[in-house]
Structure 1
Amino acid sequence: MRQTGHTRSVFTWLTAAMALGGIGLGLAAPAEATAGRGPAGVSSERAGGMGVTGGMGVTGTTAAEGRGTRDTVVATTGGRVRGVAHDGLRSFRGIPYAAPPVGERRWAPPAPVAAWSGVRDATVPGAACAQPKGLPVGVPSENEDCLYLNVTAPAASAASATTTRPAASAGPAASAEPAASAASVGSAMPAASAMTTGPAASAASVVSPAPATSVAPEGGRPVIVWIHGGSLMYGTGDMYGPDRLAAAGAVVVSMNYRLGVMGFLSTPALEDADGLGLRDQQAALRWVRANAAAFGGDAGNVTIMGQSGGGYSVCGHLASPLSAGLFDRAIVQSAPCATGGSRTRAEAAADAERVVEAVGCGKNTAACLRATPVAGLLKAYGPFNEPRPVAGTDLLPLSPGEALRTGRFNRVPVLVGVTHDEERGAVLGQELAPGGSPMRPEEYEPAIRAEFGDRADDVLRRYPLVGFPSAGEALATVRTDAGWSAPTLDTARLFSRWVPTRMYEFAERDTPWFDGYPTPSFAQRAQHMSELAYLFDLSLFQDVKDEQTAFRNRLIGAWADFAATGRTEWPAFGSGGGYVQTLASDAWRRADFAADHHYRFWKHQG
């Protein structure tokens, strides 16, 4: 596919992460890096997506029996499910939200799940969707029956809940924000009202945000739908333990969705197959609208939240008319919508043609592809792709960037941000790969010239090697600023023209490193994914230090408050010429973001 500067950064990160994961390189990932993960204290053993042998029925024990838990049953639109109550929370895992996409349904849009009788066990996560081996953020799988979701909610009923947090201040930005239209902030809406094209609605038409408490006025808790990252190639929803977010007062939902070749293969022989991962997520969001109340959630206050590939999925939902009315707020982490989130038909077709040729399906293509074993498809697609939905379709009429520029997107309040040192992990991953080593000083200039071509002299003058402790840190800084920081600031500026927008920069310097891997030659600081170690219980990383507990709780509280109100304790982006908040244990204040990341320089570079 065509590689923009940001896409090259993602490819570099993938290459480094793949090296850490050990694919074909002789470096085995720690067992914890590839095992299924669930909420802290709850087993995440996988069982083919059904949770019990045969798929349904009442069982005598739960997966967490003997650990201070008890059964809890909830009625959903598909039938009753049994989860576990523990530590003031209720957890349900492996709930089907769509019919299994197997057989003739391979590469078909998600269909409604068949209802069941009795009580279905929901104590074990559903199977991981098919994905290659290698990445620590992945769970190697050939499963196609994988469209399952997980719900974690406070155990107390909304009516009896008393947990509150200080109200999120609108700050001086209250008058500086454009107002999202009432249609795009309330409950389900027709697509036409969501995809508005004119100026922002007047203040009189705005639905006022709820107070910053864990319970909305009508009694339901805010719902956060987490869309996992992994470049739309890897990962599962249950890897990210949501207990801390739920304890802050939110109902947290995560899902598995089709990835890579099974979710984004675009060939004329397979109608509507190019964006199935996004369509799966839409099916999960429809499930949430229909079932949130059963878990104590407010179905009219749903926040979609994603990081990296999951963040680009959020960009896609903002731009897709088919996602209109399915959510009320959006959190976009490390995914600059202005420059990513889709691909062209030509790029997608080239991927598909390569797969079709590799598996020998030039004739009777659709039937042949559906008969090809998953392992062969994964091998043909490869581990380094960067799939995206195709722009110019009914799913995604415009690229996310064009949708933001024209205002033709689902207008809801947005929290958008980036980490301060996105590319450090990628550079460190390369040095820790078998045969790798810290970047030598003499390698810096050739690397810049290879990446930036006729712009290299300007880049080298702006980022001279003598200004950095090491060549690796210099290269990581250049790639962070060019591929992540500048495009994220552009994204916030575009959002703020149309909707209430908050921007943050996660800048914690003392972050956990990948668990079980060698100590790197320089500090990873706020690398790509680093904020996730604070928002979730994620065994991919070493433990967060005890002395960072207050900072971790404040970060979680900020996300939960945004889900409740659409606001944060810091001002809107439109206040004071582009307000960006630094989030760090020693610095919770306004960032000098544009200067710190040489924004004007990169805008001049084009």
Structure 2
Amino acid sequence: MSGRTAGLALAALLLAGCAGAPPEPTAVVRTEAGELRGVVAADHLSYQGIPYAAPPVGELRWQPPKPVAAWTGTRAADRPGNACPQEGTEYAKTGSTTEDCLYLNVTTPRSGQRKPVLVWIHGDGVVGSGALFDGVPLATAGDAVVVTINYRLGVFGGFGYPGLAGSGTFGLADQQAALRWVKQNIGAFGGDPGNVTVIGSSYGGSSISAHLVSPGAQGLFQRASVHSGEALMPLPAGAVSPGIPAVDWFIWRSLAETEQVGAAMAAELGCADLDCLRKLPVDKLFPLMRMFQSYAYGGEVLPELPAAALRAGKAQPVPMVTGITRDEHRTFVGLFRAELSAAEYPKLVAEAFGAKADRILREYPLSQFESPALAWSEVLTDGLWATAAFEQAELGAQRGKTFAYSFADREAPSYLPFPQSLPPGAFHAADTPYLFPDKGFRDKAKPGQRELSERMLKYWANFARTGDPNGPGLPKWDEFGPAKYVQALAPGEATRQVDFPAQHRLEFWRGLR
């Protein structure tokens, strides 16, 4: 390099320093277990496949998560870790037979520190993984750190057996281990470990309700966002699919019953002890996935029934967002009951609600609906989802500032296999792609829906930052409070207050108890 060239280069560097030009971000961070190298993009940094606990394989199958082993050198964090074992379903064509799966992903803006952190707990309980949800839009629109996690599913996360420590709660314990990892390490990624919001839908939302009352989750998060959670819902006979009997709770089961079912299933599999069960191939256990989808209460992770603990005022007193979609149960009717006949409708109501059936049929006569499937959908949306969601908001408001919503875009892009005979409406989990908009959503969404997505991203980032979703340029969202305010989330000016109790006939359902 000539003297003149070197001088010009030095002058350029000095001018850049004087102008305050930010340094180029580095993708290398140090966690407690070792260094990670992520990927630098134009507007964010991403780190994928970060182990937060030891692989639950071999003797660690059906044990609480153990600490991850430290590594030397710099570990590549440029691709997702394995999804937890899952067989896939008619609505989610996923699959994995790998138990080495306790990984998480971090997306963070390119610069800055002490940013709010949102930890996403995906739903379903038998399929899914954190990597299926793109945290970039939420991280960049909200100037926040977004974490998505894997956790053990189905029989691997909820199995129970007499004398087995942690029976029925391994998936919940995984989630708490991920939250502890966040508390210990997220500062290295620019996040504030003292400002963590847990956010989840459906099974993930119910899991958050469990963490609100679980001793092991105390202090691991400061805000909660519960979407379409089933924590306070019973499950009437036949409500989800044919042949499913009534149970007291949609998502919870006692420890004694969980262990009893586990022992019976072990015998059917030809095993007399845990050692035998732990040696079974993953796919040999797939038929039991949904049988152990419920979490067990009565043990160390969940000492008591979460619904009872919530109603007794034992939840962590944290700010909360909670809500449902306008047409929750159309998803389940579309999957299992789409061709429902007029003659079958009263039989289903009678099977599910017994002596209360006649009153329900008078309140929801077929003459009010375009099809029996829509009638049955509305009965269960109102009687199960809306009733439980409103109670969750009422209980949350007793413990902290609470904001309630109804996702009301009845033309939301559908990513589920709905039959032509049943309009999806604002179906179960229809709001999730608006917070994690991927290419599929962007290709299908109309301009007003993309605008709603941008609005929701700001609402949730504001809530994570301050405990209040409101901010400049957004329609005002009042606190649930004594007025029982519920915000409808829909394109354009339809984002406004909705009379949720009237819309879902809550007075009727509460009088039916």
TM over 0.5: yes
CA offsets 1:464-522 (integer angstroms, 9 cap, x no match): 1111111111111011011100111111111211222111111111101126x476223
Give 1:452's match in structure 2, choosing from 347, 353, 373: 353
Higher relative contact order structure (alpha carbons within 8 Å, sequence separation ≥ 6): 1
Match of residue 521 from structure 1: 421
Partner of 1:277: 171
**Aligned with 1:241 (options 134, 143, 149):** 134
CA shift in 2, pair 1:148/1:296, >3 Å: same
- Structure 1 Cα separation of the partners of residues 146 and 292 of structure 2: 27
Counterpart AA for 2:364:
Y
2:386 maps to 1:478 = no
Alpha-carbon spacing, 1:86–1:546, altered in 2? closer, same or farther (3 Å)? farther
Return the TM-score normalized by structure 1. 0.74
Is residue 111 of structure 1 aligned with residue 66 of structure 2? yes
One-letter amino acid of the structure 2 residue matched with residue 475 of structure 1: W
- 1:211 aligns with none
Distance 2:369 2:420 in 1: 16
Question: Which residue number in structure 1 is paired with residue 244 of structure 2?
Answer: none
**Match for 1:263 among 153, 157, 162?**
157
Corresponding residue for 2:395? 494
**Is the Cα contact below 8 Å between 2:162 and 2:260 reproduced in 1?**
no
Aligned CA-pair RMSD? 2.0
- Aligned pairs for 1:69-88 within 5 A: 72-88=27-43
Q: 1:500 to 1:245 in 2, by over 3 A?
A: same
Indicate the residue corresponding to 2:286 in structure 1: 378
Instruction: Quote the residue 1:215 is aligned against.
Output: none
Query: How far is the alpha carbon of 1:115 from its aligned partner?
Result: 1.0
- Uncovered stretches (5+) of structure 2, i.e. residues with no partner: 1-23, 234-248, 471-476
Structure 1 residue 121 corresponds to structure 2 residue 85: no
The equivalent residue for 2:489 is 583
The SS at the match of 1:298 is strand
Shift of 1:251: 0.3
Question: Cα distance 1:476–1:605, how it changes in 2: closer, same or farther (>3 A)?
Answer: same
Of 299, 303, 306, which aligns to 1:397? Answer: 303
1:271-298 CA deviation, whole Å, 9 max, x = no partner? 2232111111111111101111111111
Deviation at 1:135, TM superposition (A): 4.5
What is the CA-CA distance between 1:138 and the residue it aligns to?
Answer: 6.0
Query: Which among 77, 85, 89 is matched to residue 130 of structure 1?
Result: 85
| Per-residue deviation, 1:528 | 0.2
Structure 2 vs 1, CA of residues 460 and 518 (structure 1 numbering), >3 Å: closer, same or farther? closer
* Superposition deviation, residue 346 in structure 1: 3.6
How many Å apart are 1:353 and its aligned residue? 2.5
1:269: Cα distance to partner?
4.0
Deviation at 1:447, TM superposition (A): 2.1
Q: What amino acid does structure 1 have at the position aligned with 2:137? A: R
CA contact (8 A) 2:463 2:469 kept: yes
User: Take 2:444 and 2:433, find their aligned partners in 1: how far apart are those partners?
Assistant: 8
Name the counterpart of 1:543.
444
State how far apart, in whole Å, the 2-side matches of 1:473 and 1:89 are: 43
CA distance in 1 between counterparts of 2:275 and 2:371 reads 54
Residue 538 (structure 1) shift: 4.7
- In the other structure, the counterpart of 2:362 is 461
Q: Distance in 1 between matches of 2:98 and 2:439?
A: 23
Range moving further from structure 2, 353-362 or 453-462: 353-362
Alignment of 1:148 onto 2:148: no
1:329 aligns with 2:223: yes
Counterpart check, 1:415 vs 2:321? yes
Residue 343 of structure 1 aligns to a residue whose secondary structure is: strand
Give the letter aligned to residue 253 of structure 2: R
**Structure 1: distance between partners of 2:304 and 2:37:** 41
Q: Distance in 2 between matches of 1:494 and 1:547?
A: 33
User: Partner of 2:232 in structure 1?
Assistant: 338
Q: CA deviation at 1:419?
A: 0.7
- Whether the 8 Å contact between 2:331 and 2:418 is mirrored in structure 1 is no
Identity of aligned residues (%): 42
Alpha-carbon distance change, 426 to 378 in structure 1, aligned in 2, over 3 angstroms: same
After TM superposition, give the deviation of residue 111 of structure 1 in Å. 1.1
Matches within 5 A, 1:308-319: 308-319=202-213
Q: Which amino acid aligns with 1:114?
A: A
Gap change, CA 1:95 and 1:532, over 3 Å in 2: same
Q: Distance in 2 between matches of 1:566 and 1:71?
A: 31
- Any gaps of 5 or more consecutive residues in structure 1? 1-68, 159-218, 432-436
